[in-house]
């Protein structure tokens, strides 16, 4: 029944996807900041004055803000509606165009940076995958053309400082580097959507399997009951005792159907302990914990009805109160019984067992098990011991 737990595990790494998006945003803004720093260095080398440097800082900051808005628009695209830009997207393009115009008019030697800004804004639009690289090739070619015709590598720009050449070289690579970052983000989103679809498919298949089992079970018993009742109805006028016997058999069939339904529900609610540990490990890792789970090969012999809720409750406790520092889950045999341990880092502020662990203690007491909690040196350890089948009996 491991597939029943699959959806929660598959959908858990949303936090990691979100962190990857911020890494992507940070990389794109970092590239632009590098261009801005090289641009300012060029202004300083040329001695253009404080006013020019202040204008450069203002234009660079506005460029980064407009880029953040374009990235936000890119983030909220959907596969069904991948527009080039939202209704506000072209406003950001206009802002970048104004910034580029300011670079041309207010700052000396800003022609190269103006072209880079416009090329970067075009690269950030949500182009279709087949068209995106063609657009990038075109804007990169435009940057190179400006660089060779009117930029620092042209005959007219031979007297420019090294800073201008660095701006031109890094600027020509900026659209491609940006698109590579966005491509990696698109790949990750595609994988995350595939995992979500797989999880929904697994849940659907599990529901279909449950529906099939219920149909087969109930269909068989209902058919038997119908035949027994029909036979009782025929026998009653001639042989009342035989008819009553058939009614008793029908009642027994009803009890069998009821018990079969209970057994089926119990089978679907129970999860093997090996899967419980694997799901707990995946969930903790998705929450940013460095989690490991260790179990013995004969784990299937352990009492799943007792240890399953214990594993789930300790995992929830770690998610609520644990801090990054490593989590170790273990389940092993000890004599004729079993020992489960959950060790994790925690802050020193928390104290007490909490209602969850108190409930575990009560459940273990009813089955002959024990719960031990240790806290110290920034670690929180839960040790559970339960007897084997013979000890519990």
What value does the mean pLDDT take over residues 46-62? 79
Tell me the percentage of the chain whose pLDDT exceeds 70: 79
What value does the mean pLDDT take over residues 84-95? 59
Give bridge partners of residue 376 from the DSSP assignment.
379
Residue 67 CA to residue 36 CA, distance in Å, equals 13
Burial, 245: exposed, middle or buried (Cβ in 10 Å; 0-12, 13-18, 19+)?
middle
Q: What is the pLDDT of residue 352?
A: 42
> Are 311 and 273 spatial neighbours (Cβ–Cβ below 8 Å)?
yes
Residue bearing tokens 């209970």: 262
Give bridge partners of residue 327 from the DSSP assignment.
291, 344
CA distances to 7, 343, 366 from 336, rounded to whole Å, are: 35, 23, 18
Average pLDDT, the chain: 76
Give bridge partners of residue 374 from the DSSP assignment.
381
In 3D space, the residue among 134, 170, 138 whose CA is nearest the CA of residue 151 turns out to be 170
Residue 132 CA to residue 138 CA, distance in Å, equals 10
Tell me the percentage of the chain whose pLDDT exceeds 90: 3
Band (7; pLDDT cuts 50, 70, 90):
very low
272's CB contacts (< 8 A; 6+ apart) are 1, 2, 300, 304
Burial, 206: exposed, middle or buried (Cβ in 10 Å; 0-12, 13-18, 19+)?
middle
Residue 286 CA to residue 271 CA, distance in Å, equals 20
The predicted-structure confidence for 309-331, as pLDDT tens digits, reads as follows: 888 888 888 877 777 778 899 99
Q: What is the pLDDT of residue 267?
A: 63
3-state secondary structure of 272: coil
Q: What is the pLDDT of residue 355?
A: 57
210's CB contacts (< 8 A; 6+ apart) are 264, 268
Q: How many CB atoms lie within 10 A of CB 128?
A: 10
Residue 91 vs residue 123, higher pLDDT: 123
Burial, 78: exposed, middle or buried (Cβ in 10 Å; 0-12, 13-18, 19+)?
exposed
**Residue 371 exposure: Cα atoms within 13 Å on the Cβ side:** 22
User: How is residue 223 written in tokens?
Assistant: 């058919």
Band (85; pLDDT cuts 50, 70, 90):
very low
Residue 7 CA to residue 192 CA, distance in Å, equals 12
Query: Using CA of residue 258, residue 260, residue 263, residue 264, what is the dihedral sign?
Result: negative
Residue 377 CA to residue 271 CA, distance in Å, equals 34
> Are 50 and 214 spatial neighbours (Cβ–Cβ below 8 Å)?
no
The predicted-structure confidence for 277-288, as pLDDT tens digits, reads as follows: 888 888 888 777
Residue 172 CA to residue 166 CA, distance in Å, equals 10
For the cut 80, the answer to whether the pLDDT of residue 198 exceeds it is no
The predicted-structure confidence for 335-389, as pLDDT tens digits, reads as follows: 888 999 998 887 654 444 455 677 778 878 888 888 888 887 778 889 999 987 5
User: How is residue 177 written in tokens?
Assistant: 């580097």
Spacing of C-alpha 33 from chain mean position: 30
Quick one: angle between helices 354-366 and 304-321, nearest 10? 170
For the cut 50, the answer to whether the pLDDT of residue 125 exceeds it is yes
């Amino acid at each position: 029944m491991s597939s029943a737990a699959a959806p929660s595990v598959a959908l858990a790494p949303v936090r990691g996807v979100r962190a990857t998006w911020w890494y992507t945003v940070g990389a794109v803004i970092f590239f632009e900041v590098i261009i801005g720093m090289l641009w300012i260095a060029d202004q300083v080398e040329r001695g253009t004055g404080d006013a020019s440097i202040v204008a450069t800082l203002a234009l660079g900051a506005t460029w980064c803000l407009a880029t953040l808005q374009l990235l936000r628009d890119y983030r909220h695209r959907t596969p069904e509606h991948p527009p080039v830009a939202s209704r506000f997207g072209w406003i950001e393009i206009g802002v970048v165009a104004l910034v580029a115009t300011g670079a041309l008019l207010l700052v000396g030697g800003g022609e190269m940076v103006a072209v880079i800004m416009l090329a970067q804004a075009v690269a950030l639009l949500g182009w279709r995958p087949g068209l995106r690289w063609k657009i990038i090739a075109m804007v990169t070619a435009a940057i190179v053309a400006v660089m060779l015709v009117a930029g620092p590598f042209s005959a007219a720009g031979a007297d420019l400082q090294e800073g201008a050449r660095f701006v031109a070289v890094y600027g020509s690579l900026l659209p491609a580097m940006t698109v590579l970052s966005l491509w990696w983000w698109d790949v990750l989103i595609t994988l995350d959507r595939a995992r979500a679809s797989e999880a929904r498919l697994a849940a659907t298949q599990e529901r279909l399997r449950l529906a099939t089992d219920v149909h087969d079970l109930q269909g068989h018993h209902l058919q038997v009951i119908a035949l027994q009742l029909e036979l009782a109805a025929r026998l009653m006028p001639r042989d009342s005792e035989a008819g009553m016997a058939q009614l008793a058999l029908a009642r027994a069939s009803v009890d069998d159907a009821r018990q079969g339904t209970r057994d089926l529900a119990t089978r679907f609610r129970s999860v093997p302990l090996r899967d419980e540990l694997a799901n707990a490990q995946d969930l903790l890792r998705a929450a940013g914990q460095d989690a490991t789970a260790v179990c013995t090969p004969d784990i299937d012999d352990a009492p799943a009805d007792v240890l399953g809720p214990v594993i789930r409750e300790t995992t929830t406790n770690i998610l609520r109160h644990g801090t990054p520092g490593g989590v170790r889950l273990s389940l092993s045999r000890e004599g004729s019984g079993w020992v489960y341990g959950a060790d994790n880092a925690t802050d020193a502020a928390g104290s007490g067992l909490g209602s969850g662990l108190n409930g575990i203690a009560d459940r273990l007491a009813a089955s002959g098990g024990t719960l031990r909690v240790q806290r110290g040196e920034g670690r929180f350890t839960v040790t559970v011991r339960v007897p084997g089948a013979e000890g519990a009996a």
